[in-house]
Structure formats: C-alpha cells, structure tokens
Structure 1
Amino acid sequence: MPVACNSAAPDSSCLRPQKFKYNKMKVLQFLRHNILLISTLLAVVLGIVAGMVCRPLKPSSDTIHLVQFPGELFLRMLKMLMLPLIIASIITGLGDMKGSSAGRIGVLSMVYYASTSIVATVVGLTVVLTIKPGAYSDSSTAYISHNNAMTSTIDIFLHLLRNIVPDNIVAATSQHSSTVTGTEDGGSYSSDFLNDTGNSTEVNMTNQLSSTRKTQLVDGVNILGVLMYCIVFGVTLSQLGRSGTVVTEFFTVINTITLKMIRLVMWYSPLGILFLIMGQIMSTTDMTETGQTLAIYIATELAGLAIHSLVVLPGLYFILTRKNPFAIYLKVIQALLTAFATASSAATLPVTMQCVEERMKIDTRISRFVLPVGVTVNMDAGAVYAAIGPVFIAQYNGVSLSFGDVIIVSLTAILSSVGTAGVPGAGLAVLLLVLKSVGLPDRGVSFLITVEWLLDRFRTMVNVASDCLVVGVVSRYTNLPPRDQSETQSEPLREEQVMLESELV
C-alpha cells in the first residue's frame, strides 16, 4: 500500500514524480517551440544521406529533375515573397522613425558594411597568397594583357550608380542595367558576364580591335534601385506626420500579410530543403576526380570563410557590443540552415527577418531597414571569394600578379560584391567580372564550377550570419524613441499588427 506524501515535509520519493513530470513538460515545451528548427535539421541530414545513397544508382536527369522539383517550389515561394517583403518592411520601418534616426541607422550600417567588406577582401587575399592553391597545377605561363583593367573597374562603378538610380521603378522590379561590349567591325555584343569555355587556349590579342560599350537592361531584379526608392519614400513618409498615416497603415497591413504568408511557407520548408539537398548531391559529379589542386582550393576558400565568420566578425561584434556573438548564431540557426539549403541570401530574407525579430528581439524599425539593405550590400563572403578566385586563376595559369594587379583585384572585389544579387550562382558572375578587371583568362573557371554548388552554400551562410550581427551592432548604438502613435498609426491597428506578428513565433 503506497504511503501518502506529507506536504509539509515531502521526502525524495514524493519529489521524484513531480520532478519527472516537470522535466517532461519542459521537454514538450521545447519541442513545441522548436519543432520547425528540429524538422529543418532532420531535413538537412536526411537530404545528405538520401543523396549519398541514391548516387550509386546513377539516376537519370529526368529523375533528378523530379527529385529537385519540391525544392524548386520552395525556392519560388521564397522569391515570390522577397520583393513585397523588402518594399513593405523598409517603408514601414522608416515610416515609424524620425529622419535623424533613419540617418543614424543608415550611416552605422553602411560604415559597418564597408568595413567588413574591406576586411573580407584582405582575409581572402591573405589566405590565397599564403596557401597558393593554384601553384599545385602544371599549367604553363600564358601571355596576359592588362590594358583594359581600369576600364572594367570603371564599368563596375558605373553599374552601381546606374542601378542605384533607375529610370523606371516599375522596370526595376524585373530588370537591371548592364554594359555589353563588342567590336566596331559589326560583331555581336557580348555580355560582361561571359560563360567559361573550358578550353585551355592562351589569351589572344583582344586589343587589336577597338571595342565599344553599350548599356542595356537585362533580366533580373534591380534590388539596389528598389531599395533606394523605398528608403527615400520611407524617410519622406516619416516627415509627413499625420498626413502620411493612411499610407503607413497600408504598407503596415501589407507587411503583416506578407509575414503570415511567410509563416505558411516555412512549414513547407523542411520538405523543400530535404529535396533541394538530395537533388543537388545526386546531380553532382564525382569530386574525387578533380584532383589535388581543387581539393586545396576548397580548403583555401573554406579557411577564408571560417576565419572571417568565426574570428573576424565575432571579434568585431564583441568589441563593439561586449556580447557573445556565438549566442546570436544559435538564435538564427534556422536562417543559417535555410541559407545553406537555398544558397540565396535574398530567398532566406523572410526567415532571417523572423529569427532576428522573434529570437534576437530586435526593434522591427531597425531590422526591416538593415536586413533588406544587407541582402544586397553586405556580401562579405562574396568579397572573400572575389579575392581568392582571381588569384587562384592567375596561379593556375602560371601568371605572376604585380602589386598593382592585387590592388585592382581588391578594389574590384569590393565594388562587385556590393549590389550583387543574393541568388545562387551570383558569385560566379562576380568572379568573371574580376578576372576581366586584371585581364586574366577564364581558363580554369570551369574547373571551379564542379564545386560551386557546395561553396556557394557556405558563402550564403556567412552572408546571412554577417547580416544578423550587423543588426545587433546597429541596435546597440541606436536608441530609438517610442513610436508616436499620434503621428503614425491608430492604436487599434498597432495592436492588431502586434497580435498578428506574435502568431509567427
């Protein structure tokens, strides 16, 4: 017969069931609050395992396409929500701030972006010049001409200015400005972002024919132009006070609706991530055949990314905030996993914004301005890649770069990483552009394409992690005043927005 517990002085036998029940409730509560994160982790593991198991079966291209299709739908959903989220979040974030607060946030974030991009380029150059991964090849020296280096660098700078100030804001949602080159003998124009031929022929004398340049619109969202328009629109709206209440309320509702749509998409994300990774592994060529040179290149780039993301960025964050940077990484691990699966910081933006606002508890007026800008401007990993890639190609082709060439590579890497679309494969376009800036051949680029799918995912993770740390730094040095309800939204609308967004946790 069990002995009744004395509530006045309970013994250990009485406390044990209560402690077990309490621990069980804590575990269930943890699982309930982190079910999406746990599902995503399992999806990544299952995707890798399933891909490795199916590789020996040598699936056909049609089979691989069908396997990747659920993941393709996930990517399309995220990209569909990216543009309305950027527009609504920036306008509502700036619309709730005074002009001085918006200016302070803008200056802090841009200074931080510029500083980390410069440091990332230095890290990339230091690693590649120390390890010299291209020196392990048996390539012979090729004749290289550097006459067009300065012109290409100028073209990059002009690209940025043209895209920052679009002549048609509607067209900017689907097209961006680019320069194409051709010859005066009537030959066809070729884009700046040329495809790698994969052959081993030496560089010919391209300067014998005078070239001409032509600016035209090409497919692809002009994120820089859209950002600039929304920033100016939001700052102007914040200065209208009560006169702009209707417009602010409109974009606030649009933002809330978009966040609820993101919540629906995120419940599909584990399935999409699983098939994305599985299909990519199934379609990858055998990397063991690529040889020692490519293995050393992979180690070089991963070393550069690791130094920047695990030493430089955390160290800078700790110095500026006196807080543990790795705690931030743990809070945004959902966004980091999504970045690895999608290889797109732009597509990951909805998840990043949710993690920053709900787990890091960052003021939405800061996150909804800094994060969309960071998706385009803050490309630290792209700067590391743009510094390592050209030097590797030079070493691979037996070309000795002068100090001036290294400076041009650094400058071009920084400029080209700013404004690069946060989509899969954008890093390759940056690499080709930097190669042109110093007149290097594209021989060897096809050698790198075999592992681009993997390295691009690590670069995206670094970019997203850097965005989250930037938000923390800006929040530390920005004391925003409370929202003035009389000049922005009505109280019922604000309460309704808070209630809707609280459901996203």
Structure 2
Amino acid sequence: MTDKTKLSLTQRIVIGMIAGILVGAGLQQLMPNGSDFIIPLGFFDFSTRSFVVDGVFEVVGQIFVASLKMLVVPLVFVSLICGTTSLKDTSKLGRIGGKAIALYLVTTAIAISFAMGLAFLINPGEGVNMTTSTSFTGREAPSLAQVFIQMFPSNPFAAFAQGNMLQVIIFALLFGIAIALSGKAGERISSLFDDLNEVVMRLVTILMNIAPYGVFCLLAKLFTDLSLSAFGNLISYFFVVFFALIIHGTVTYSVILKLLSGLNPLIFLKKMRDAILFGFSTSSSNATIPVTMETVTKKMGVKNSIASFTVPLGATINMDGTAIMQGVATVFIAQVFNVDLSLSDMLMVILTATLASIGTAGVPGVGLIMLAMVLDQVGLPVEGIGLIIGVDRLLDMTRTSVNVTGDSMVTLIVGKSEKQFDQTIFDNPDAGKKIEDIDFHHLGDNK
C-alpha cells in the first residue's frame, strides 16, 4: 500500500532549505558577528559554534557536496561514451556539438550584454567615489587558440584526477567514437559501459535520498555566518544581479525555447524544479549534473544519446549566471572607482567573459576568480572584488540555478531538432515521478 503521507523529493528539499535558513538565522541571533554561544554542562563547556556550526553542519554539508562531485567524472565519462556509441552515425556528433556550443555561447553573450545594460540603467555603484592606491595584475585571458589546445588532454588520467571536464569530455567522445567503429569488439565494450551506466545511475539515486539533510546543513551553516549588515551599500548591486538572473532564467530562456523548438516554456520551468533547487543549494553546476540528466531524460523526454553529451558540456562551458554577475560587477566596480568604460571596454568584457566561460569549473565561487581576469582586461582594480564578496555566496547559489536551467533548455532544443525527443513524456506531468509521488486522484480527474 502506498503511503499517501510520504513527501516527494522536491518537498523534502524545500523543507530542508526552509529549516536550514530558519535554524541558521536563529543561531546568528545567538552568535552575532562570529561569536560563540557556550552552554556550561558541568564537566565541560559545550561550544555551539565548534560542535554544531563548524562541526555537524560543516561536515555533513561538505560530505554531501563531495559525494555529488564524486559522481561527476564517472557519470560524465560513462554516460557520454554510452551516448556516443548509441548514435551509430558518428557524423551526427559534429552536428550536435556545433548546435550545443553555438547555443551556449550565444546565450552567454546575451546574458552579459543584458546584465551590463541593466547595470548602466540603474547605476548601482554611483556616488561611492572610492580610490585605489595599489595596482593589481590579473591573469591574462587565454587566446582562442590556447582555449582549443587546452581542450585536448595530453594525459587523460590526469584530466580525470584534476576534474578537467573539457578534457574528460573530449577523451570520452574520442573513446566512444572508437568503440562505435570497432565492430564486434566495440559492441562488447559498449555493453559493458551500458551496465556501468546503470550502476552509476543507481548510485545517483542512493545519494539523492540524503539530499534534504545535506541541503539543510549547507544552508544552516551559510545563514549562521551571513551578516545582514554586509549588504549595506551593496543592496542595489545585489538586486540588479538577482533581477537580471531571474529575467534571464525565466524570460530569455522561455523565449529562446519557444522560438527554436515550439515547446511550452511553462511545462519546462515546472519540470526544472528539482534541478533548480539542487543548483541553488550546492552552488555547483557539476554537482547538479546527475539531477539535470535525470530531469531532461526522464521528465522531459530527451534521449540519453543527446543529454549525455549536451548536459556535461553545458555544465562546463555554459556560465550564463556567472556572466551576468561579471557584467554587473564590472559596471558596479567601474562606477565605484569613477572609471568610465568605453564601448570597446564593454565589448572586451563581453568577449572575455564569454570565451572565459569555456572550461570554467562548475564549482562554487569560481565566478570571482574569473571576474579578476575580466576586470584586468579593462584596467579596473581587482581589489574591487572585495566590495562584492560578502554577498556573492547567495548570488552564486542563484546563478548556478540559472546555469543548469540553460543546460536543460539547450538540451531540449538540440534533442527536438535531432528528433531524439519524446513529446508525450514532455507533456506528461507525472513523467519521471516515482510511483509514490503520483497524485492518482488528479489522474482520475483528467479521464
């Protein structure tokens, strides 16, 4: 008998998020400004910060994120080989890759252009009038030629160990093509990877069951240390970035999806809930790959042969949310230090941020590292990053949600254009749900 009171994964994650925020806010009241709350127990003093915040919350939260990241390389490698070998016609691979890369780069350019335009309209940094007495030398942006050279691994095992996802993807593609062209031997190896894929996906399912607890601990730790006074003069910057992320993640993606595929954007956004929540709670596109893969294949009907290629690729090169932050932050820091950005400076920011998104690791906080490179390209003080770092963690969570939404949108468009898409699964509101999550009374109403 099905337990009607059993909560779905989405509901449990939401409960974990809300509970984590409330607990963290409560602990912040007990321990303002990084202080501690000591409970004397006679034989020893119980430190709330050491035992609870920096102990239980930190350990459980980081174990959860590490467990998700543990899956990234094996999941991408195995699923991409399965997808490549299942294509049969290897000539399709170049076409699929071309479509996906073009869409990812175009949406990134749109994202940063929109963000900079919005920042110039609202002027979040105007009137601060800060000066700098020190100079900073950021990392030089890689040339386009260097970007392509670095995509190919000289040592694939080093790429696995370092988590260099572009190199892992390239090696998996080449290995998958070789398997597809190897006749009987290739068929045997392909069967082995199909079995490995089943095992990896089962591991994903196991880890998803601990997700609500991991999300609770991550947010409880974050909101314990997040000082509301840190927003101060940054409140305008924060909301400009946040507003730009929301508009891009809902309106821009919906328009592109409707124009290029004809699919219903409302159904798409509704089915993205789990992946969006995971992206928000982990701040990592790579860590969310398992959930994104499950969403686009089981809930939206894209064939695994497409999703296994476009989703990992998107987690690696699709950084629309990060590009939005970089665009607004560049304008904000320029206004704070009274630096006028010329048209060529703005174009340089757009080009640099778009190209830099290729190969950027999909892990928490990487946007700030890339921002240093973008600022240096237009002669802005890299120290300006210190102004926004206090609010970046919360924005990092939001922009990761935008990134994974973009990954799924491009996957749908490519899948539909390649006729590797099942419309009935996309239209079915219960597709991909476990049996206990389905509202059978609702199904009866539709008869």
TM tier, smaller: 0.7 to 0.9
Match of 2:232 in 1: 291
SS of match in other structure, 1:344 = coil
| CA deviations over 1:419-468 (Å, ceiling 9, x no partner) | 11000011011101111212211232112111111000000000011111
1:71 aligns with 2:12: no
Where does 1:188-267 land on structure 2 (aligned, <5 Å)? 221-267=163-209
Letter in structure 2 aligned against 1:86: V
Match of 2:130 in 1: 139
Match of 2:426 in 1: none
Where does 1:468-487 land on structure 2 (aligned, <5 Å)? 468-480=408-420
Q: Is residue 230–residue 391 contact of structure 2 (8 Å, CA) maintained in 1?
A: no
Deviation at residue 307 of structure 1 after TM alignment: 2.1
Distance in 1 (CA, whole Å) between partners of 2:213 and 2:13 is 8
Distance in 2 (CA, whole Å) between partners of 1:366 and 1:36 is 26
Deviation at residue 46 of structure 1 after TM alignment: 0.9
1:82 aligns with 2:72: yes
Match of 1:93 in 2: 83
Match of 1:458 in 2: 398
Deviation at residue 264 of structure 1 after TM alignment: 0.6
Match of 1:305 in 2: 245
- Answer with 49-58 or 98-107: which moved more: 98-107
Match of 1:387 in 2: 327
Distance in 2 (CA, whole Å) between partners of 1:374 and 1:473 is 13
SS of match in other structure, 2:288 = helix
Distance in 1 (CA, whole Å) between partners of 2:29 and 2:266 is 38
Deviation at residue 143 of structure 1 after TM alignment: 9.6
1:119 aligns with 2:110: yes
Match of 1:370 in 2: 310
Distance in 2 (CA, whole Å) between partners of 1:338 and 1:105 is 27
Distance in 2 (CA, whole Å) between partners of 1:164 and 1:229 is 9
Distance in 1 (CA, whole Å) between partners of 2:167 and 2:196 is 20
Where does 1:262-281 land on structure 2 (aligned, <5 Å)? 262-281=204-223
Choose 1 or 2 for highest CA Rg. Answer: 1
Match of 1:50 in 2: 23
Deviation at residue 322 of structure 1 after TM alignment: 1.7
From 113, 118, 129, the equivalent of 2:120 is: 129
| CA deviations over 1:136-171 (Å, ceiling 9, x no partner) | 3132487989xx99x933x35455234302211111
From 143, 153, 156, the equivalent of 1:166 is: 153
| CA deviations over 1:8-37 (Å, ceiling 9, x no partner) | xxxxxxxxxxxxxxxxx9xx68765x6212
Distance 1:141 1:54, change over 3 A: closer
Deviation at residue 289 of structure 1 after TM alignment: 4.6
Distance in 1 (CA, whole Å) between partners of 2:86 and 2:300 is 20
What RMSD over aligned residues (CA atoms) do the two structures have, in Å?
2.6
Distance 1:128 1:94, change over 3 A: same
Q: Is residue 271–residue 295 contact of structure 2 (8 Å, CA) maintained in 1?
A: yes
Deviation at residue 100 of structure 1 after TM alignment: 2.6
Deviation at residue 237 of structure 1 after TM alignment: 2.3
Distance 1:393 1:478, change over 3 A: same
Distance 1:158 1:397, change over 3 A: farther
Distance in 1 (CA, whole Å) between partners of 2:255 and 2:348 is 28
Distance 1:301 1:249, change over 3 A: same
Deviation at residue 404 of structure 1 after TM alignment: 1.6
Distance in 2 (CA, whole Å) between partners of 1:131 and 1:423 is 30
Distance in 2 (CA, whole Å) between partners of 1:401 and 1:473 is 36
Question: What TM-score, normalized by structure 2, do the two folds share?
Answer: 0.86
Q: Is residue 142–residue 397 contact of structure 1 (8 Å, CA) maintained in 2?
A: no
Q: Is residue 111–residue 323 contact of structure 2 (8 Å, CA) maintained in 1?
A: yes
Deviation at residue 309 of structure 1 after TM alignment: 1.2
SS of match in other structure, 1:346 = coil
- Answer with 43-52 or 231-240: which moved more: 231-240
Q: Is residue 378–residue 463 contact of structure 1 (8 Å, CA) maintained in 2?
A: yes
Instruction: Count how many residue pairs are aligned between Structure 1 and Structure 2.
Output: 409
Distance in 2 (CA, whole Å) between partners of 1:41 and 1:89 is 29
Distance 1:459 1:30, change over 3 A: farther
Match of 1:36 in 2: 9
Deviation at residue 102 of structure 1 after TM alignment: 2.1
Deviation at residue 300 of structure 1 after TM alignment: 1.1
1:341 aligns with 2:281: yes
Unaligned runs of 5+ in 2: 37-48, 423-432, 438-447
Distance in 1 (CA, whole Å) between partners of 2:403 and 2:251 is 14
SS of match in other structure, 1:347 = coil
| CA deviations over 1:351-391 (Å, ceiling 9, x no partner) | 11112222112211111111111110111111212222222
Distance in 2 (CA, whole Å) between partners of 1:53 and 1:159 is 49
Letter in structure 1 aligned against 2:292: T
Distance in 2 (CA, whole Å) between partners of 1:466 and 1:30 is 34
Distance in 2 (CA, whole Å) between partners of 1:328 and 1:469 is 8
Distance 1:340 1:403, change over 3 A: same
Q: Is residue 25–residue 224 contact of structure 2 (8 Å, CA) maintained in 1?
A: yes
Where does 1:166-185 land on structure 2 (aligned, <5 Å)? 166-175=153-162
